């Protein structure tokens, strides 16, 4: 079956928004998919809100810029306010619950919040929060293989950070586990 996943990732600059989307894009390329990664650019990257659109497809991608999304990974409140209405009915909205005090009240989408910031602190590296979110997302939407993500991280992370690859892998697994536990609770 033809597969197409249109995802937006949004949050504050510095939360790893762009690298989350880029890692997924790399993984998609390794998996042999057509991909596009469209960042917001300019002053908003320096401390304001940042977002990127990542599209994975089995066929050629037309528009890299879209207004409705299959999935959204939301890391702060302003982005929740901006993007919640733009998730397609039946779509997924995954959010970082520690940064969001007022999640969307929509009932026609799958809404899931995980405390990725707190969990990142437990892994003793607050910057790993975005990979916990990515792991959680991939548990809900297995659009690429986990091995492809691990391969992708080698490309996205500068070589001087390659000692952190194992930590990133742990973070991905932790994200997956958090969703599994949520699903068990129901």
Partner 1 sequence: MNVTKLMKGNEALAEAAIRAGCDAYFGYPITPQSEVLEYLAREMPRHNRIVLQAESEVASINMVYGAAGAGFRAMTSSSSPGFSLMQEGISYLAGAELPCLLVNVNRAGPGLGTIQPGQGDYFQATKGGGHGDYRLIVLAPASVQEMADHVFLGFDLADQYRNPVVILSDGAIGQMMEKVTFKPYQKPTVDKSWATTGKPASRKRNAISSLFIQPERMEQHNLKLTEKFNRIRESEVRFEEVNTDDADYLLVAYGLSARIAQKAMDLARAKGLRVGLLRPITLFPFPEKRLRELATQVQGMLTVELNSGQMVEDVRLAVEGRVPLARYGRMGGMIFTPEEIERQLETLFEKAYAN
105 binds partner 1 (CB under 8 A): no
Nearer to partner 1, 10 or 35 (CB): 35
Helix axes 129-140, 146-156, angle to 10 degrees: 150
Q: Which stretch binds partner 1 (CB under 8 A): 8-16, 28-36, 104-112, 138-146?
A: 28-36
Q: Is 63 exposed, middle or buried (0-12, 13-18, 19+ CB in 10 A)?
A: exposed
C-alpha angle with apex 96: 41 to 112, nearest 5 degrees? 120
Q: Which of 22, 80, 84, 149 is in the footprint of partner 1 by CB under 8 A?
A: 22
Interaction pattern, residues 145-164, with partner 1; x per rule: CB under 8 A: ----------x---------
169 vs 135: CA distance, rounded Å: 9
Nearer to partner 1, 29 or 120 (CB): 29
Strands (E), the chain: 4-12, 34-39, 49-57, 69-74, 87-96, 110-114
19 binds partner 1 (CB under 8 A): no
Interface positions with partner 1 (CB under 8 A): 22, 25-26, 29, 34-39, 41-42, 61-68, 155
């Amino acid at each position: 079956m033809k597969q197409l996943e249109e995802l937006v990732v949004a949050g504050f600059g510095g939360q790893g928004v762009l690298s989350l989307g880029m890692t997924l894009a790399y993984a998609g390329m390794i998996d042999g998919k057509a991909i596009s990664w469209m960042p917001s650019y300019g002053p908003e990257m320096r401390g304001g809100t940042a977002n990127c659109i990542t599209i994975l497809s089995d066929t050629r991608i037309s528009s890299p810029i879209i207004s409705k999304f299959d999935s959204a990974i939301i890391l702060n409140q302003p982005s929740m306010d901006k993007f919640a209405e733009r998730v397609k009915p039946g779509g997924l909205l995954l959010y970082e619950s520690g940064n969001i005090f007022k999640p969307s009240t929509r009932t026609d989408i799958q809404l899931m919040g995980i405390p990725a910031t707190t969990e990142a602190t437990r892994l003793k590296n607050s910057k790993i929060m975005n990979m916990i979110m990515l792991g959680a997302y991939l548990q809900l939407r297995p659009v690429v293989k986990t091995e492809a993500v691990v391969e992708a991280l080698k490309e996205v992370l500068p070589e001087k950070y390659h000692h952190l690859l194992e930590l990133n892998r742990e973070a991905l697994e932790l994200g997956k586990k958090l969703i599994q536990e949520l699903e068990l609770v129901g």
